[in-house]
């Protein structure tokens, strides 16, 4: 999701980003990768990278990870931007829950239903160009 935004941001800032272990396209180890561990990993990464008072932009589970790292690990930020954070159980909107429960039905939806998402991505590319 961030692969097109990060290069644009890197024109103005030093950027560090990562795919949370067990989520997205990262490895799926046979180990605990729950949100309860993600804040520990995130705090360790920030310390490893030697970043003092970073500006954080976090999305989805990254939002709860950034909040937990602040509240539970004492990680301080200069700024924190949360985009659609998953912070309260059950995770996901009713639509997300329905898609999880009926994955085959949602996978078979016609392509025209995705036009709004395509238009949104196009507008974002124009804005960030």
- Residues 111-120 pLDDT 10s: 766 566 666 6
Q: Which residues of the chain have pLDDT under 50?
A: none
- Please identify which residue in the block is written with the tokens 């046979």: 30
pLDDT, residue 91, reads 63
Three-class DSSP labels, 78-105? CEEEEECCCCCCCCCCHHHHHHHHCHHH
Q: Cβ atoms within 10 A of the Cβ of 108, count?
A: 8
- Please identify which residue in the block is written with the tokens 């990562």: 18
E-strand ranges in 60-129 read: 79-83
pLDDT for 29-43, tens place per residue?
Answer: 787 877 788 999 999
pLDDT, residue 4, reads 83
Q: Cβ atoms within 10 A of the Cβ of 43, count?
A: 19
Helix H or strand E encompassing 56: strand 55-59
DSSP state of 3: T
pLDDT, residue 54, reads 94
pLDDT, residue 127, reads 60
Entry pTM? 0.66
């Amino acid at each position: 999701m961030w692969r097109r935004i990060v290069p644009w941001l890197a024109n103005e800032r030093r950027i560090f980003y990562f795919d949370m272990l067990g989520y997205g396209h990262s490895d799926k180890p046979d180990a605990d990768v729950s949100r309860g561990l993600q804040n520990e990993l995130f705090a360790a990464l920030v310390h490893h990278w030697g970043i003092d008072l970073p500006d954080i932009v976090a999305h989805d589970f990254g939002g709860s990870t950034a909040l937990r790292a602040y509240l539970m690990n004492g990680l301080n930020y200069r700024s924190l931007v949360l985009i659609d954070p998953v912070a309260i159980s059950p995770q996901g909107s009713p639509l997300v829950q329905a898609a999880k429960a009926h994955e085959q039905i949602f996978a078979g939806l016609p392509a025209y239903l995705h036009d709004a998402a395509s238009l949104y991505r196009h507008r974002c590319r124009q804005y960030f160009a």
